[in-house]
Structure 1
Amino acid sequence: MDQKPQPAATSFQQKITCYLKYNEERKAKAMLFNPNQGNLLLKVLPFLLHCNYPDLPGFIDDADCPYGIHLFNHTEEFPHELFRRYFPNSTALRSDRPSSFSEKPCIHSLKTIGSIGTIAQSTISDCDYWVSIRKEELGKKGLQLLQEKCRAIEEWSMKRGSEVHFFLMDIDQTKENNFESETDEESAGSSIKLLLKDELFRTHILVAGKMLLWWFIPPGLTEGEYRNFVHNLVSRNKIRANDFVDLGYLSDIPKAEIFGACLWQMNKALDSPFKSVIKFAYLELLLHGTTTTLPLFSDRVKCLVTYQEKLPAEEQGTIDLAEVDPYILLARDIIAFYKQEKSEQKRASLIQECLFLKTLEGFESQKNTKFGQTSHLKATMEMMQAWHLLPENYSHFLRFRDWKYKELIGFGAKVHDYLIETYKRLRWIFKSFGADTGLTITERDISILGRKLFTFYEQKPNKIDYIRSVSRDLMEQQNITIHITKYEGVFYYYAFQGQLDHESVKSSVESVIKREDNLVRLIVWLLVNGIISTKTQIHLTKNFLPIDLVDIQKLTELLIKTFPIIHFSRISPANLLKRETVLRALAIVNFEKEPAKGSKTLKSTMVTENSYGEYFIQDYTTAIQLKNAMRTLLTQHYVSRWNNNLEIFIPPQDEQSYIKNLIER
Structure 2
Amino acid sequence: MYLYIETLKQRLDAINQLRVDRALDVMGPAFRQAYSLLPILLHHHHPQLPGYLDGNVPCGISFFEPDETQKSWLTRLGWHLPLVDEPVEMPITGVYSMGSTSSVGQNSTSDLDIWVCHQSWLDNEERLCLQKKCHLLQKWCLSLGVEVSFFLIDENRFRHNESGSLGGEDCGSTQHILLLEEFYRSAVRIAGKRILWNMVPCKKEEHYDDYVMSLYARGVLTPNEWLDLGGLGTLSAEEYFGASLWQLYKSIDSPYKAVLKTLLLEAYSWEYPNSHMLATDIKQRLHDGEIVSFGLDPYCMMLERVTRYLMSIDDHARLDLVRRCFYLKVCERLSIKEEKTGWRREVLSQLVKEWRWDAARIAVLDSRSEWKIGRVREAHNELLDAMMQSYRNLIRFARRNNLSVSASPQDIGVLTRKLYAAFEALPGKVTLLNPQISPDLSETNLTFIYVPDGRANRPGWYLYNQAPDMQSIISHQPLEYNRYLNKLVAWAWFNGLLTEKTQLHIKGNGVCDLAKLQEMVADVSRHFPLRLPAPTPRALYSPCEIRHLAIIVNFEHDPTAAFRNQVVHFDFRKLDVLSFGQQQQCLIGSIDLLYRNSWNEVRTLHFNGEHSMIEALKTILGKMHQDASPPDAVEVFCYSQHLRGLIRTRVQQLVSECIELRLSSSRQEPGRFKAVRMAGQTWGLFFERMSVSVQKLENAVEFYGAISNNKLHGLSIKVESNQTPPVPTVVNSYASEGIIQFFFEETSGDRGFNIYILDETNRVEVYHHCEGSKEELVRDVSRFYSSSHDRFTFGSSFINFNLPQFYQIIQTDGRSQVIPFRSQTLTQLCAVDLATSNQGESTHAPRYRVH
TM bucket, shorter chain: 0.7 to 0.9
Name the structure 1 match of 2:11. 18
Tell me how far apart the structure 2 counterparts of residues 591 and 150 of structure 1 sit (CA, whole Å). 52
Identify the residue that residue 63 of structure 1 maps to in structure 2.
Answer: 55
Q: Residue 78 of structure 1: SS of its match in structure 2?
A: helix
- The structure, 1 or 2, with the larger RCO (C-alpha pairs under 8 Å, 6+ apart) is 1
Q: 1:608 aligns with which of 595, 615, 621?
A: 595
Tell me, yes or no, if the aligned pair for 1:29 and 1:118 is still in contact at 8 Å.
yes
Give yes or no for the alignment of 1:581 onto 2:548.
no
Residue 458 of structure 1 aligns with an amino acid whose one-letter code is: E
Q: Structure 1 15/593 Cα, relative in aligned 2: closer, same or farther at 3 Å?
A: farther
State, as a whole percentage, how many aligned pairs show the same letter: 21
Provide, for residues 162-218 of structure 1, a one-character-per-residue CA deviation record: whole Å limited to 9, x for no partner. Answer: 3322111110223x1522235577566445201111111111222222221122222
Greater helix share, structure number:
1
Deviation at 1:36, TM superposition (A): 3.4
SS at match of 2:57: coil
Aligned to 1:36: 29
Once residues 375 and 550 of structure 1 are traced to their aligned partners in structure 2, the CA distance between those partners, rounded to angstroms, is 52
Q: SS at 1:169's partner residue?
A: strand
Q: Which residue in 2 is equivalent to 1:483?
A: 447
Secondary structure of 1:69's counterpart equals coil
Give the secondary-structure state (helix, strand or coil) at the position aligned to 2:390. Answer: helix
Please list the CA deviations of residues 231-259 of structure 1 after superposition, one character each: whole Å capped at 9, or x if unmatched: 34434444444432111112442333323
CA contact (8 A) 1:251 1:296 kept: no
Q: Which amino acid aligns with 2:19?
A: R
Shift of 1:486: 5.0
Q: For residues 410 and 27 of structure 1, do their structure 2 counterparts lie closer, same or farther at Cα, with a shift above 3 Å needed?
A: same
Matches within 5 A, 1:209-224: 209-224=192-207
Tell me, yes or no, if structure 1 residue 329 matches structure 2 residue 328.
no
Root-mean-square deviation over aligned CA pairs? 4.3
Q: Measure how far apart 1:144 and its partner are.
A: 1.3
Partner of 2:748: none
- Answer yes or no: is 1:473 the counterpart of 2:443: no
Q: In structure 1, what is the Cα distance between the partners aligned to 2:376 and 2:526?
A: 25
Equivalent residue number for residue 307 of structure 1? 287
Counterpart amino acid of residue 124 in structure 2: K
- Structure-2 residue corresponding to 1:297: 278
Q: How does 1:139-154 map to 2 (within 5 A)?
A: 139-154=123-138
Q: Following TM superposition, by how much is the alpha carbon of 1:417 offset from its aligned partner in structure 2, in angstroms?
A: 2.5
Aligned counterparts of 2:555 and 2:343: Cα–Cα separation in 1: 48
Q: Which runs of 5+ in 1 are unaligned?
A: 1-8, 310-315
AA matched with 2:238: A
Matched-pair contact (CA < 8 Å) for 1:479–1:537: no
Alpha-carbon separation, structure 1, partners of 2:390 and 2:638: 48
Determine whether 1:358 maps to 2:350: no
Counterparts in 2 of 1:228 and 1:484: CA distance versus 1, 3 Å = closer
Aligned runs of 1:65-80 on 2, under 5 Å? Answer: 65-74=57-66, 76=68, 78-80=70-72
Q: Is the 8 A contact 1:583 1:637 kept in 2?
A: no
Q: Deviations over 1:18-77 (max 9, x none)?
A: 2223223223333333323531552243343333344544221x1312234333334635
Distance 2:475 2:25 in 1: 42
Q: Is the 8 A contact 2:545 2:598 kept in 1?
A: yes
Paired position in structure 2 for 1:646:
633
Indicate the larger mover: 503-512 or 22-31.
503-512
- Tell whether 2:439 aligns with 1:458: no
In structure 2, the CA distance between the partners of 1:234 and 1:37, relative to structure 1 (3 Å rule), is farther
5 Å-filtered alignment, 1:541-556, equals 541=504, 545-547=514-516, 552=521, 555-556=524-525
- CA 1:444–1:75 in 2, change beyond 3 Å: closer, same or farther? closer
SS at match of 1:295: coil
The answer as to 2:506 corresponding to 1:522 is no
* Aligned 1:612-651 pairs, distance under 5 A: 612-619=599-606, 636=626, 639-640=629-630, 645-646=632-633, 648=635
Q: Equivalents in 2 of 1:408, 1:424: separation in Å?
A: 24
Indicate the residue corresponding to 1:338 in structure 2.
310
Indicate if the aligned counterparts of 2:255 and 2:383 stay in contact, CA closer than 8 A. Answer: yes
The aligned runs of 1:283-294 (5 Å cut-off) are: 283-289=265-271, 292-294=273-275
Alpha-carbon distance between aligned partners in 2 of 1:268 and 1:582, rounded to the nearest angstrom: 25
Taking structure 1 as reference, are residues 193 and 389 closer, same or farther at Cα in structure 2, changes over 3 Å only?
Answer: farther
**Whole-Å Cα distance in 2 between the matches of residues 297 and 242 of structure 1?**
28
Q: Partner amino acid for 2:264?
A: Y
Instruction: State the one-letter code of the partner of 2:249.
Output: N
Give 3-state SS (helix, strand or coil) of 1:420's partner: helix
Counterparts of residues 385-424 of structure 1 (less than 5 Å): 385=352, 388=354, 393-424=361-392
Q: Distance in 1 between matches of 2:6 and 2:619?
A: 71
Structure 1 CA distance for aligned equivalents of residues 497 and 61 of structure 2: 43
5 Å-filtered alignment, 1:654-665, equals none
Give the alignment partner of residue 175 of structure 2, picking from 192, 196, 200: 192
* Alpha-carbon displacement from aligned partner over 1:281-315 (angstroms, at most 9, x marks no partner): 222222222x63422210111233x3125xxxxxx
CA contact (8 A) 2:552 2:637 kept: yes
Report the Cα distance in structure 1 between the residues aligned to 2:330 and 2:10, rounded to whole angstroms.
Answer: 30
Q: Determine the C-alpha separation between the residues in 2 that align with 1:280 and 1:606.
A: 38
User: In 2, Cα distance between the equivalents of 1:494 and 1:181?
Assistant: 46
CA contact (8 A) 1:169 1:182 kept: no
Match of 1:262 in 2: 244
Partner of 1:114: 99
Partner of 2:674 in structure 1? none
User: How far apart are residue 382 of structure 1 and its match?
Assistant: 2.0
Structure 1 residues 353 and 365, CA gap change in structure 2 (3 angstroms): closer
- Closer/same/farther in 2, CA of residues 628 and 32 from structure 1, 3 Å limit: same
- Tell me, in whole angstroms, the C-alpha distance in 1 between the residues paired with 2:91 and 2:471: 63
Cα 1:549–1:321 change in 2 (3 A) is same
Which residue of the other structure, out of 116, 119, 129, is the alignment partner of 1:134?
A: 119
2:262 to 280, 288, 305: 280
- How many residues of Structure 1 are paired with residues of Structure 2 in the alignment? 610
Counterpart code for 2:22: K
Indicate the residue corresponding to 2:216 in structure 1: 234
Separation in 2, partners of 1:147, 1:40: 21
1:374 corresponds to: 341
Q: Which amino acid aligns with 1:13?
A: E
CA distance in 2, matches of 1:191, 1:455: 19
Q: Which runs of 5+ in 2 are unaligned?
A: 454-458, 507-512, 564-574, 578-586, 654-851
Task: Check the 8 A contact 1:21/1:321 in 2, yes or no.
Answer: no
Seen in structure 2, the aligned counterparts of structure 1 residues 160 and 521 have a Cα distance that, compared at 3 Å, is farther
Task: State the AA in 1 paired with 2:125.
Answer: K
